[in-house]
Amino acid sequence: MTEQLFVEHSLSRIGGTGFRVRVLDDALSTGNPPVAAIYGEPADDCLVRIHSRCVYSEVLGSVDCDCHDQLRQAKELILEEGAGVIVYLDQEGRGAGLLAKARGYVYSQENQADTFASYRALHLPDDSRDYASAADLLEGLGLTRLKLLTNNPEKMKALELRGIVVKRVASIVPVSEAAEAYLEAKRRRGHMIPTLDDH
């Protein structure tokens, strides 16, 4: 591992002790650099979430997807355990960017196509997200084994390729009817998302 450049400071939190953020000084990243939110004193086997930005649900309140609830749940579970990490990546629209995501929405709404079909129709890659910087941040925190809160096998693979031992914890959140169609599309693309019948 090469020496990592980052900027780290603390943040306050309502109703509890604060947490730290570590912002990667990464010349290769486009958009905002990757950031790790560090709760407590993370050690091996702690709970980790790698999360890609979704401005529609996280900031604007959309219920077309489950991103906001997954992020909220990750924070709650980590705070319950007392320590853990959320790595937040500026990879809007599965890495294609916000404009591409918006164009995908238009195509989906006009053609009743799911998000992946829309991306293909617009000649966009299905999923161009990259998790190398997340692995960098987790390695930098000294983690060699962790519990990853995810339904996405690509995130597990990215960490395992770096020698990090990953135990998956399914990310299960109640979703709206609109989001259920989105999750069904993700299931068809290999995401291990439990259905309500599974639990």
What residue ranges bind Zn ion (CB under 5 A)?
54, 57, 65, 67
Cβ of residue 54: shortest distance to Zn ion, in angstroms?
A: 3
Min dist CB 62 to Zn ion, Å, is: 7
Give the whole-angstrom CA distance, residue 144 versus residue 166.
9
The helix or strand, by DSSP H or E, that contains position 20, with its residue range, turns out to be strand 16-24
Supply the DSSP symbol for 162: T
- Nearer to Zn ion by Cβ, of 23 and 63: the residue is 63
Active site residue 129: yes
Q: Which is nearer to Zn ion, 152 or 164 (CB)?
A: 152
Whichever of 132 and 178 has its CB closer to Zn ion, that residue is 178
Q: Please state, in angstroms and rounded to a whole number, the distance separating the CA atoms of residues 17 and 121.
A: 47
> Quick one: tokens of 160?
């395992």
Least distance in Å: CB of 182 to Zn ion?
A: 8
Residue 35 or 65 with smaller CB distance to Zn ion: 65
HEC profile for 136-161? HHHHHCCCCEEEEECCCHHHHHHHHC
Spell out a b/e string for 88-126, using b for 16 or more CB atoms within 10 Å of the CB, else e.
bbbbbbbbbbeebbebbbebbeeeebbbbbbbeeeebee
Among 66, 69, 127, 136, the one annotated catalytic: 127
Dihedral, CA of residue 58, residue 35, residue 139 and residue 133, to nearest 10:
80
Q: Residue 56 Cβ, how far from Zn ion at the closest point, in Å?
A: 6
**Minimum distance between the CB of residue 128 and Zn ion, rounded to whole angstroms?**
16
Identify whether the C-beta of residue 114 lies closer than 8 Å to the C-beta of residue 181: yes
Residue (35 or 54) nearer to Zn ion, CB: 54
Q: Does the annotation mark 45 as catalytic?
A: no
| Residues designated catalytic | 127, 129
